[in-house]
Amino acid sequence: MMPTIDVLKEQINCVLGRKPCELRLINARLVDVLSGKILDGAEISINDGKIIDAGLSCRAIAEKTIDLKGAFVAPGFR
């Protein structure tokens, strides 16, 4: 199901730091399953239950931040 224009606008505003997202995970060891590389110190921004940004230079701010303290994070599939 495709997100609506309003949902996309909200996600963009969160990614750009204009609006706080729900949750930000910091200090993750993010596993890139395509390249096999691990990004140390990665951040993951989540809004409305969906990942909206992930990587080393996320600009999102959040209502709640959780420090993963180096825990590994890998994508899951439904």
32 contacts 54 by C-beta, under 8 angstroms: no
Domain coverage including residue 35: 5-73
29 in any annotated domain = yes
Helix (H, G, I), strand (E, B) or coil at 69: coil
pLDDT for 76 beyond 90: no
In a domain, 59, yes or no: yes
Report pLDDT digits (tens) over 14-38.
999 999 999 999 999 999 888 989 9
Confidence band for 78, pLDDT divided at 50, 70 and 90: low
Task: Write the DSSP assignment of 7-57 as a string of letters.
Answer: HHHHHHHHHTTSS-EEEEEEEEEEE-TTT--EEEEEEEEEETTEEEEEESS
Q: Is residue 46 part of a domain?
A: yes
Residue 78 lies in a domain: no
Q: What CATH number should be reported for the domain holding residue 32?
A: 2.30.40.10
What is the predicted pLDDT for the residue at 72?
95
**Averaged pLDDT score across all residues of the chain:** 92
Q: What is the pTM of this model?
A: 0.86
The count of structural domains within the chain is 1
Minimal CA–CA distance to 36: which of 78, 77, 74? Answer: 74
**What average pLDDT does range 40-61 have in this prediction?**
93
